[in-house]
Amino acid sequence: MDSKYKTGLTNGYSPQKSGPSQDDGHLPKKFRSDDSTHSKGYSSVSISKHRRSLPVFAVKSRLLEEINNHSTLIIIGETGSGKTTQIPQYIHDARLEKSGAIAITQPRRVAAITVALRVATEMGSPIGHGVGYAVRFEDVTSPETKLKYLTDGMLLREALIDNLLMSYNVIILDEAHERTIHTDVLFGIVKQAQSIRRAKNFKPLKVILMSATMDVDHFSSYFDDAPVVYLQGRQFPVNIMQALKSHEDYNFAILVTVFQIHREAPPNEDILVFLTGQEEIEAMVYSARLVAKDLMKSGPQLRVLPLYAALAQFQQLEVLRPGLPCSRKLILSTNIAETSITIPGVKYVIDSGMVKLRTHNPTTGMDSLKVQRISKAQAWQRAGRAGREGPGTCYRMYTDEEYNNMAEMTVPEIQRCNLSGVVLQLLAMGVNALSFDFMDRPPVESIMEAMKKLSYLSAIISINRPELTPLGHQMAAFPLDPHYSRVILAARDMGCVEEVVTLVAVLSGENLRVTVSKRREDAASAHQKFASPTGDHITNLNIFRAYNSASMKKQFCFDNFLNNRNLEYAAGVRSQLLDLCRHSNIPISSCGQDRDCIRKCLIAGLFGNLAQLQREGHYLTVGSNQVVAIHPSSVLFRSKPPLVIYGEVVQTGRCYMRQVSSIDPEWVNHIAPPDFQRKINACLNASM
């Protein structure tokens, strides 16, 4: 059957022999479980039968013994073997957490929420009671919560209040291989908490690291040679089909492959496609639905389902549900589906080979979201998703040569990201990042650069005296990037807290406007109603205001081509942020019609994100001289003001600024920090 695909496509593939199952072959198989107990989906079988069928169940008692005997343990097992949902329940059933609670961290909020809901169902308890979750801007726990699923960022915030994390007797750092910046900091925090608690004869803290695949020796040696337990997962062979030539436009090649599979494969064999982000996914959802409607008059129904972090919960759950009879699911996902979420029914994986990563350039000081090649480890992890329930196939949109050029492992986020948030949080815990026990130390230049930024933001006394100022303490209280916390604190002084908090809430979610639509022009004219000549920030504020006062919100969004769920999310975040302001004694002021102060507040935090129009028609970032352009989705795309401030830079071929507003150069002089002002003025004068 595979050879059929090999020859039938316009863009050919060549099969590759080794698969993830062989890749994992070197792992010492300490524990084994019986593959024959495997059950497909869980709707038709009882929950307890499903739980017993998971690979981890077969080794439950031995696993508990290991957990009981060691203060730190590393558990490695394939995605779907039951680590995240089962192990915390086993620990709780055996009461190993004693009087404390069990924290289980997840790098993604989606995973924390869906897993907690699943475990609550399995335990037959309403969410928020025995099992709960805490993600940024949402806390569904109570004093009786014993199993608390939370994002790594949330546990880190808890460590700000109590760095010994005394409410937990067991902490599970899950998906440890993802090496998010927060997980990496937590490694050091829990290690330190464990040893201080031991030294002071406090309740002992048990630390468990769980992961699909990772560099075990590195982890084990950092955690004082912690023992490693391998779970024998079930991984069926996956046939790897590598592209014969490289694709300029992998989106098209993916669609061709999808419909080829759809025409030829039996229904109920689902397809999982790995793409880079929400917009790309929504665009492909749209095209795939159109093609399916036009071409597929007969044959099984194709249900096209997106999956990305910002998606509403019910839509995410839709993906996890077993398929309908005689239909096929096509799931278009970000790297979310690589390890943290297990999707039943997948038989085919199509891997674009790309991922969107936040990277930071310490030389230019610029942060950007960059679409780039995945690592080899990710490529195998993605392919493995096709072999969860039986033999499968993975189509790679990249050639053998492109594969060979990939890095072995993804560089940990802490070594490639802007550290100002982490450095601030560590300082709030009384720790200097320069002397912190990192598993992999970030470059000293990055730490120093973060200190410099914090000093510009007046969060620390100086680089030489990295102690938090009162302003710095207030900034650390917000679960936001310090630049945005600074913007909110500036709003306190300028009397526009309500407006600025609304803006920040909108920015912490996804795009408010629906851009992919058959009625592009209608959408554009609907959006025009909200447009502000000053830029995207005030435009977003206008959108939110109109939404907030609409009585029929869904209908309002539909009529105006706005994204209801993103607006709903923003509304939730806004009310949380307003609560936080009240907690910090920040009055909720409003500037009414005099709105210039809103953009002035932006300068107070984002002074490093200014760009100036050049005679040649492009923009140069102030201070770092990078060529950038206004993103076509910005309301300022055609107007090109002389000086702009931006929220982020997205690199897709060109560097595009997003969330752009125009800025009066006069304002900069009054608001940006004095040292930085000199830098800005030098640039502004040079180009006059």
- Max CA pair span of the chain: 75
485 binds Mg ion (CB under 5 A): no
| Minimum distance, C-beta of residue 60 to ligand CDP, in the bound complex (Å) | 13
Applying CB under 5 A, the span of 82-90, 95-103, 380-388, 498-506 interacting with Mg ion comes to 82-90
Residue choice 85, 89, 352, 560 for contact with ligand CDP (CB under 6 A): 85
Report the side by side order of strands in the sheet with 168-173: 138-140, 131-135, 147-151, 101-106, 168-173, 206-211, 72-76, 228-230
| Minimum distance, C-beta of residue 341 to Mg ion, in the bound complex (Å) | 8
| Minimum distance, C-beta of residue 393 to Mg ion, in the bound complex (Å) | 24
- Provide the 10 A C-beta neighbour count for residue 521: 8
Per the listing, tokens 């937590």 go with 186
- CB 411, CB 357: distance < 8 Å: no
Applying CB under 6 A, the span of 74-82, 277-285, 293-301, 535-543 interacting with ligand CDP comes to 74-82
Sequence-distant (6+) residues with CB within 8 A of 72 are 194, 206, 207, 208, 209, 223, 224, 226
| Minimum distance, C-beta of residue 83 to Mg ion, in the bound complex (Å) | 5
- Which DSSP string corresponds to 349-389? EEE-SEEEEEEEETTTTEEEEEEEE--HHHHHHHHHGGGSS
75 or 567: CB nearest ligand CDP: 75
| Minimum distance, C-beta of residue 341 to ligand CDP, in the bound complex (Å) | 7
84 binds Mg ion (CB under 5 A): yes
Residue 114 interacts with, from ligand CDP, Mg ion, none (CB under 5-8 Å by kind): ligand CDP
Return the axis-axis angle of helices 497-507 and 536-549, rounded to nearest 10°.
100
Compute the distance between CA of residue 437 and CA of residue 427 in angstroms, rounded to an integer.
14
77 or 412: CB nearest Mg ion: 77
53 or 169: CB nearest ligand CDP: 53
304 or 320: CB nearest ligand CDP: 320
In DSSP terms, which residues pair with 241 in a beta bridge? 15, 395
- Which DSSP string corresponds to 530-551? T--TTBHHHHHHHHHHHHHH-S
Residue choice 20, 82, 353, 466 for contact with ligand CDP (CB under 6 A): 82
Compute the distance between CA of residue 301 and CA of residue 312 in angstroms, rounded to an integer.
24
Compute the distance between CA of residue 328 and CA of residue 339 in angstroms, rounded to an integer.
22
Listed residue (57, 56, 37, 36) closest to 45, CA to CA: 37
Residue 118 interacts with, from ligand CDP, Mg ion, none (CB under 5-8 Å by kind): ligand CDP
115 or 394: CB nearest ligand CDP: 115
Binding mask 325-364 for ligand CDP (x = CB under 6 A): -----------------x-x--------------------
Per the listing, tokens 């979610």 go with 509
176 or 243: CB nearest Mg ion: 176
Strand 138-140 relative to strand 131-135, pairing: antiparallel
Upper half-sphere CA count for residue 303 (Cβ side, 13 Å)? 19
- Provide the 10 A C-beta neighbour count for residue 687: 13
- CB 45, CB 394: distance < 8 Å: no
Applying CB under 5 A, the span of 80-88, 386-394, 454-462, 507-515 interacting with Mg ion comes to 80-88
53 or 410: CB nearest ligand CDP: 53
119 or 644: CB nearest ligand CDP: 119
393 binds Mg ion (CB under 5 A): no
Residue 63 CA, chain-centre distance (Å), reads: 30
Compute the distance between CA of residue 269 and CA of residue 346 in angstroms, rounded to an integer.
6
183 binds Mg ion (CB under 5 A): no
Upper half-sphere CA count for residue 616 (Cβ side, 13 Å)? 6
Residue choice 75, 115, 228, 543 for contact with ligand CDP (CB under 6 A): 115
Upper half-sphere CA count for residue 272 (Cβ side, 13 Å)? 30
77 binds ligand CDP (CB under 6 A): yes
User: Residue 661 carries which DSSP code?
Assistant: E
- CB 200, CB 23: distance < 8 Å: no
85 or 368: CB nearest Mg ion: 85
60 binds ligand CDP (CB under 6 A): no
| Minimum distance, C-beta of residue 86 to ligand CDP, in the bound complex (Å) | 6
Compute the distance between CA of residue 137 and CA of residue 580 in angstroms, rounded to an integer.
10
320 binds ligand CDP (CB under 6 A): yes
- CB 415, CB 443: distance < 8 Å: yes
178 or 449: CB nearest Mg ion: 178
Phi, psi of 471 (to 5 degrees): -60, -40
137 or 149: CB nearest Mg ion: 149
| Minimum distance, C-beta of residue 655 to Mg ion, in the bound complex (Å) | 35
Applying CB under 6 A, the span of 77-85, 324-332, 498-506, 635-643 interacting with ligand CDP comes to 77-85
Q: How many residues bind ligand CDP (CB under 6 A)?
A: 17
Residue 399 interacts with, from ligand CDP, Mg ion, none (CB under 5-8 Å by kind): none
320 or 383: CB nearest ligand CDP: 320
Residue 85 interacts with, from ligand CDP, Mg ion, none (CB under 5-8 Å by kind): ligand CDP
246 binds ligand CDP (CB under 6 A): no
Applying CB under 6 A, the span of 81-89, 263-271, 432-440, 564-572 interacting with ligand CDP comes to 81-89
| Minimum distance, C-beta of residue 187 to ligand CDP, in the bound complex (Å) | 19
306 or 641: CB nearest ligand CDP: 306
- CB 661, CB 596: distance < 8 Å: no
Residue choice 86, 381, 485, 563 for contact with ligand CDP (CB under 6 A): 86
84 or 141: CB nearest Mg ion: 84
Q: Which helix (H) or strand (E) holds 628?
A: strand 627-630
Q: How many residues does the chain have?
A: 688
Residue choice 42, 57, 274, 398 for contact with ligand CDP (CB under 6 A): 42
84 binds ligand CDP (CB under 6 A): yes
Listed residue (487, 493, 424, 414) closest to 455, CA to CA: 424
Question: Which residues here bind Mg ion, judged by CB under 5 A?
Answer: 83-84
Instruction: List contacts with ligand CDP (CB under 6 A).
Output: 42, 54, 77, 79-86, 114-115, 118, 320, 342, 344
